[in-house]
Structure 1
């Protein structure tokens, strides 16, 4: 990704749950207690960019500054819902850049089952996104037309990565129809 990629910047800003592994004086403001120490075991949501750096920094060979936890968007409850029906989950409400966040988190965790669920989710949802993009007459913004209420709800729940697929597939389909129209005129 580019340094100026807005999706990468927004993914880095996504808050993730962390647990501090030592007492830190004067950092209570991270837990809404200004002027107080931040005690060992305190759970705080930090931006991904900061949490990632603190999680990999070590105080001693076996102790890191914080323990990074899986974010709620990758919780077992969400993974079970994705296993059951990937198309029914509103990924946008979990994290706008859902796949970017998952990719960054999975670089830190060894969660093969989560990775397998996300790969299958991507495969199923990308096909559905492509179908909606080709069949809708709504334009690249995403709105009405495809599959009634269910289709509109599905399109509203697309992550940013899926919205980009929708835009590109829709524009490609539209360009193909224009080209075919021009070929018929010749």
Structure 2
């Protein structure tokens, strides 16, 4: 993604649970204590970009541990993963995170969890088939499929738009081709 990609910026601003491993002077403002010290063991939800920067930072003495450890964000915790394993079509991904798959991709760069990755891939495949069906069946999108469509994340919305507009563009192209021959 580009540096100026709004979707990437919004994904990196998603809150990530972080646990401080060391006392950090001067960062008290993160927990409402301006000028104070964040104590070791403090748990805070920080924007992903900040959490990652603190996670790769270490104390100022040789051999000291990292400043924070990262945990899975709420949209990718076990409760949601279990729901996705049960039936991915029933989960409102947009309510979990507007950029759910982008968040998943970023988190998979940080954590090596094959089970979560497999669940995300399976979820995308199953939901993509449903999205294509809804895009080509306008009655479904207006009726019983409306609830499903409201829960699409941004990637899925782009997929729906492409699947919906693609056949129209092909028809217009073939009509134009027939006119010009």
Query: TM-score, normalized by length of structure 2?
Result: 0.89
* C-alpha contact 2:135 2:141 (8 A) present in aligned 1: no
Aligned residue in 1 for 2:95: 93
Deviation at 1:10, TM superposition (A): 0.7
Query: Is 2:72 aligned against 1:70?
Result: yes
For residues 131 and 63 of structure 2, the distance between their equivalents in structure 1, rounded to whole angstroms, comes to: 46
Deviation at 1:147, TM superposition (A): 5.0
Residue pairs, 1:91-130, within 5 angstroms: 91-130=93-132
Bigger shift: residues 73-82 or 148-157: 148-157
1:183–1:26 distance in 2 versus 1, CA, 3 Å: closer
Please identify runs of 4+ aligned residues in structure 1 that moved more than 4 A. 179-186
Query: Is 2:164 aligned against 1:164?
Result: no
Deviation at 1:15, TM superposition (A): 1.1
For residues 64 and 126 of structure 2, the distance between their equivalents in structure 1, rounded to whole angstroms, comes to: 40
Q: Secondary structure at the match of 1:40?
A: coil
Deviations 1:94-125 (A, max 9, x none): 11110111111111111110001000001001
Deviations 1:76-108 (A, max 9, x none): 110000000000000001111101111111111
For residues 104 and 21 of structure 1, the distance between their equivalents in structure 2, rounded to whole angstroms, comes to: 23
For residues 67 and 128 of structure 1, the distance between their equivalents in structure 2, rounded to whole angstroms, comes to: 37
For residues 8 and 90 of structure 1, the distance between their equivalents in structure 2, rounded to whole angstroms, comes to: 21
Aligned residue in 1 for 2:23: 23
Deviation at 1:182, TM superposition (A): 5.8
Query: Is 2:152 aligned against 1:152?
Result: no
